Amino acid sequence: MSNNTTGALVPDGIVDSSGTYFINLSSLLSSRDNLRQSVSDLFTLAKTIPTMSVDGDATPDFDGSRVFFVGQSLGSIVGLNFVTLEPTVSTSVLSVPGGGIAQLLNGSPTFGPRIRAGLAAQGVNAGTAAFDQFMGAAQQAVDSGDPINFAFAAAGERILLHEVVGGGAVGRIR
């Protein structure tokens, strides 16, 4: 928990929005690890599906050979990595995913202004070589969890992908 106004590590009584701590602008390595951990959690779920008994009779209730995935926004960002690497997923729907995380966040109406203000406070202004160097370093920090690096593997997958033009927390990245 942290105070939204001061940044102090004390509660402020304000409910934070979904994903507030998943994308951690003060620790890009934490953001990278959150992306990778989410994919790992999905692998565990996929392996567990054929053993699940939801009715309490200790007999598996699901067919582990018929696994499908649906993800929206952040769920589709981590979902692309998962569906390209998990062989039990036969079909997936990825609604409004993204990749190139550093520029995706910089172009976001939610995160972009915070990124640019934080860097400007350190004397690193948008449109300068130092800003571009920071964005490159930021991308390198999150690269191993970034779905843009898994997109090549999606070529043979059965994926329905939705794209929305305009709006949203992130916006469209070209």
Contact between residue 23 and residue 32 where contact means Cβ atoms under 8 Å apart: no
pLDDT of residue 36: 96
Residue 13 falls inside a structural domain: no
Q: Quickly state the pLDDT bin for 4 (edges 50, 70, 90).
A: low
End-to-end CA distance of the chain: 34
The SS3 assignment for 18 reads coil
Q: Please state, as a whole number, how many other Cβ atoms lie within 10 Å of the Cβ of residue 85.
A: 13
Q: Please state, as a whole number, how many other Cβ atoms lie within 10 Å of the Cβ of residue 59.
A: 7
pLDDT of residue 2: 66
Residue 22 falls inside a structural domain: no
Pairing of strands 159-162, 67-72: unpaired
Residue 114 falls inside a structural domain: yes
Residue 39 falls inside a structural domain: yes
Residue 127 falls inside a structural domain: yes
Q: Quickly state the pLDDT bin for 81 (edges 50, 70, 90).
A: very high
pLDDT of residue 156: 87
Q: Quickly state the pLDDT bin for 167 (edges 50, 70, 90).
A: low
Composition of the chain by helix, strand, coil, percent to 5? 45, 10, 45
The residue with tokens 């939705």 is 162
Q: Using the 8-state DSSP alphabet, how is residue 9 labeled? A: S
Query: In the numeric block, which tokens belong to residue 16?
Result: 């934070």
Residue 41 falls inside a structural domain: yes
pLDDT of residue 67: 94
pLDDT of residue 173: 45
pLDDT of residue 63: 93
pLDDT digits (tens, 9 = 90+) for 120-131: 999 999 999 999
pLDDT digits (tens, 9 = 90+) for 39-79: 999 999 999 999 999 999 999 999 999 999 999 999 999 99
The pTM assigned to this predicted structure is 0.82
Side chain identity at residue 70, one-letter code = V
Pairing of strands 159-162, 89-95: parallel
pLDDT of residue 99: 94
**Domain total in the chain:** 1
Range of the domain at 32: 28-162
Contact between residue 173 and residue 103 where contact means Cβ atoms under 8 Å apart: yes
* Mean pLDDT value across residues 11-22: 78
Residue 12 falls inside a structural domain: no
pLDDT of residue 21: 77
Q: How far apart are CA 113 and CA 99, in angstroms?
A: 19
Share of the chain above pLDDT 90, in %: 74
Residue 48 falls inside a structural domain: yes
